Amino acid sequence: MPIPVISIAQMRAWEAATWATGQTEAEVIRRVGKRVARRARKLTRAGDTILFLVGKGHNGDDARAAAKQLEGRSAEVLEMFLPDTDLLPLENALKEKPALIVDGLFGLGLNRPLSEAWQQIIAAINASKIPVLAIDVPSGLNADTGATFGACVEAAVTLTVGAPKTGLLVPAAWPFVGRLEVAEDVGLVPCPLQSETNWTQSEDFELFPPARNVAAHKGNFGHAAIVAGSLGFHGAAVLSARGAQRAQPGLVTVFTQENVFIPVAAQLQSAMVNVWKPKTPFPASMTALLLGPGLVEPGLIGEPHLTIRLWWRKLECPLIVDASGLNLLTPETLLTQAVRVLTPHPGEAARLLMTSAANIQANRAAALRELSKKFGNAWVVLKGHETLVGRAEGNIFVNPSGNAQLAQGGSGDLLAGFIAGLLAQPALQADVEKTLRYAVWQHGAAADKMSLTRNNWTVEDLATEIGNVR
């Protein structure tokens, strides 16, 4: 099940409900320590030294418990209770170049500006450039607001306990949080809380997509059509087609500009390729349409623009609009209940809402809601770090997968195609929310999987892996 994103007060209430059952803090600390130790091992190699920074609170207890459960690594525990005198021991420990630092200095209880001595300690940690695994929250970060208390540890990974805290998802906090992961099974009672914002887990997609009937044929799995590509941007059409193919609909047809028909067709085998003009008829079997990747032709105004507006209002199948296609939309009253999906990055979202990308990033959830409302309650995939999926009302889901190596041209085209290939399938149209979440998660999870073994993968490589992660 997705995990609700919660406040510090809600986390305290959850803990209190747990203690009321007879569960002990000591047992939860032991389990948290076990999870931290497991994650620390994955971030290091056999024989490496890991430096555990232990503060006075429960985060320090978690760090101490993790050090005791570490196997195959050397643990150095540095208790840091006296900041005025602890800087020198820290600097000496850092000179030994440990492979990883585990940050157990401050947790959720920090509620005051850090002293100059603590700020110097945190500055030394950050200056070392040694990767940091933060327990629950990077030391110095307000887990409710995402602001710092004057200084903050810059973690590579933050392993938060139970559920994500609201401040960890604020874009201003991202440089300190690093990759956010959740240690959800640590002995707390089942989460009694609910939130409009929820954290996706890989377990949410167990047995999804559903198994196919052994007697099924390609007609059972839909026909994805793609209008994409133009001179200088034909690769977008190819990548979106490959993304659609990896979702395995029954058929894929690409409609592209006449001046790039040959290079697009030459790179695709099982996908059909046709020249697109405003009056080109779509196949009667079409069950989803993707519009936009690489459509930057100056001629896409006038009659083509009106045609696209008509599709948005009337097309009786899922319509996914990406990239340049977003610029061709205007707010319209929908004359159909068919699915509509927008897939903007922050810059594109800003143009649609006539604001700045900075304003979009300042409150991504609100921007998603506003976009959906403006465009007829469309589903919105607001891309970027921790991509959001949702619409004007209801739940918003935060995607945990992916990494900075996705910041390559063509990555979004591949995702848009994968979404179209999934939504072309009648069985997957029954739960659009889950299908979109799955597409976004797979896109990121495939990038994570490849990044474990190589640093120089390309979007073409990603196109061979998307849909293959379990």
Three-state DSSP class for residue 7:
coil
- Domain containing 159 equals 3-192
351 burial class (0-12, 13-18, 19+ CB within 10 angstroms)? middle
Output the pTM of the full model: 0.96
Q: Are residues 188 and 222 in the same domain?
A: no
Q: What is the rounded distance in angstroms from the CA atom of residue 165 to the CA atom of residue 117? A: 27
**168 in a domain, yes or no?**
yes
Looking at the structure, tell me whether residues 284 and 347 fall in a common domain: yes
- Tell me the sheet residues that pair with 255: 227, 274
Sheet holding 132-135, edge to edge: 74-79, 49-54, 100-104, 132-135, 157-161, 179-183
Average pLDDT, the chain: 95
Q: Is 107 exposed, middle or buried (0-12, 13-18, 19+ CB in 10 A)?
A: buried
- Give the pLDDT of residue 297: 61
> Is 166 among the domain residues?
yes
Say yes or no: 250 and 383 in one domain. Answer: yes
**Do 166 and 232 have their domain in common?**
no
| 334 confidence band (pLDDT: 50, 70, 90) | confident
Q: Is residue 197 part of a domain?
A: no
The mean pLDDT of 252-258, rounded to a whole number, is 96
Residue 324 counted as domain residue: yes
pLDDT, tens digit, 9 for 90 and up, residues 277-302: 878 899 999 999 999 999 886 555 55
| Model confidence at 304: pLDDT above 90 | no
- End position of a domain, from candidates 156, 174, 192: 192
List pLDDT tens digits, range 155-174: 999 999 999 999 999 999 99
Task: Round to whole Å and give the CA distance between 88 and 270.
Answer: 65
Among candidates 346, 323, 339, which has minimal Cα distance to 414?
Answer: 323
> Is 90 exceeded by the pLDDT of residue 399?
yes
Instruction: Give the CATH number of the domain where residue 164 resides.
Output: 3.40.50.10260
Write down which residue in 192, 227, 252 finishes a domain.
192
Q: For position 408, what pLDDT does the model report?
A: 97
Instruction: Give the CB-side neighbour count of residue 48, counting CA atoms within 13 A.
Output: 19
Pairing of strands 340-343, 319-322: parallel
Is residue 250 located within the same domain as residue 352?
yes
Decide if 246 is inside a domain.
yes
* 234 and 337 share one domain: yes
* pLDDT tens, position by position, 127-159: 999 999 999 999 999 999 999 999 999 999 999
Q: What is the DSSP letter of 338?
A: -
Q: Amino acid letter at 451?
A: S
Whether the ω angle into residue 263 lies within 30 degrees of 0, i.e. cis, is no
For residue 341, give the 3-state DSSP assignment: strand
Query: Using an 8 Å Cβ cutoff, are 228 and 252 in contact?
Result: no
Strand partners, 251: 223
The verdict on residue 209 lying in a domain is: no
Question: Closest by alpha carbon to 384, among 437, 340, 423, 440?
Answer: 440
Instruction: Please report which helix (H) or strand (E) contains residue 161, including its range.
Output: strand 157-161
Give yes or no: residues 188 and 235 share one domain. no
280 within some domain? yes
Domain end: 122, 157, 192, which one? 192
- Indicate whether 239 and 182 sit together in one domain: no
Residue 315 lies in a domain: yes
Whole-number pLDDT of residue 300 = 55
Q: State whether 232 and 171 are in the same domain.
A: no
pLDDT at 413 over 90: yes
Q: What is the CATH number of the domain that holds 430?
A: 3.40.1190.20
- Does 172 lie in the same domain as 225? no
Share of the chain above pLDDT 90, in %: 92
Residues 70, 137 share a domain: yes
Task: Please give the tally of structural domains in the chain.
Answer: 2
pLDDT band at 348 (very low <50, low <70, confident <90, very high): very high
Please tell me the predicted confidence (pLDDT) of residue 333. 83
Please state, as a whole number, how many other Cβ atoms lie within 10 Å of the Cβ of residue 188: 22
* Residues 18 and 31: beta-carbon distance below 8 Å: no
The mean pLDDT of 305-326, rounded to a whole number, is: 91
Looking at the fold, whether 145 and 266 belong to one and the same domain comes out as no
